[in-house]
Amino acid sequence: MPKRKIQKRSAGVLSNDKIGPNPKRVKKSVIERFKKLNDLSSTVSDILDDMGIIGCIGASILRPTIPAERIIGRAITVRNVPQRRDTHVVATEKRNFMAEIEGIHQANPGDVLVIQGLRHISNMGGVMATTAKRQQIAGAVVDGGVRDVGQSRSLNFPIWSMDISPITGKWRVVTEEINCEVTIQGIVVHPGDLVIADETGVCFVPLNLIEDVLKKAESIHNKEGGWIDNLDKGLSIPDLVKKIFAKK
Domains of the chain: which residue ranges?
16-207
Amino acid at 220: I
Residues 101, 174: Cα–Cα separation, whole Å:
12
Residues 226, 35: Cα–Cα separation, whole Å:
19
Residues 89, 193: Cα–Cα separation, whole Å:
38
Give the closest residue to 175 by CA, choosing from 88, 89, 76.
76
**Which secondary-structure segment (H or E) carries 33?**
helix 28-35
DSSP code of residue 21: P
Q: Is it the case that residue 228 has pLDDT exceeding 80?
A: no
Percent of the chain with pLDDT over 70: 85
Supply the pLDDT for residue 118. Answer: 97
Residues 153, 172: Cα–Cα separation, whole Å:
25
Burial class (CB in 10 A: 0-12, 13-18, 19+), 139: buried
Cβ atoms of residues 32 and 138 within 8 Å: no
Orientation angle between helical segments 40-50 and 210-232, nearest 10 degrees: 120
Cβ atoms of residues 170 and 181 within 8 Å: no
This prediction has a pTM of: 0.87
Instruction: Dump pLDDT digits (tens) for 48-90.
Output: 999 999 999 999 999 999 999 999 999 999 999 999 999 999 9
Q: Give me the DSSP letters along 49-108.
A: HHTT---EEETTTSEESSTT--EEEEEEEEEEEE--S-HHHHHHHT-----HHHHHHH--
Q: Which CATH class is domain 16-207?
A: alpha beta
Residues 20, 76: Cα–Cα separation, whole Å:
10
DSSP code of residue 167: S
* 187 SS3 class: strand
Supply the pLDDT for residue 68. Answer: 94
Amino acid at 97: F
pLDDT band at residue 219 using 50, 70 and 90 as cut-offs: very high
Give the closest residue to 73 by CA, choosing from 205, 209, 220, 187.
205
Supply the pLDDT for residue 233. Answer: 58
| Torsion sign across C-alpha atoms 127, 128, 132, 138 | negative
Instruction: Dump pLDDT digits (tens) for 130-155.
Output: 999 999 999 999 999 999 999 999 99
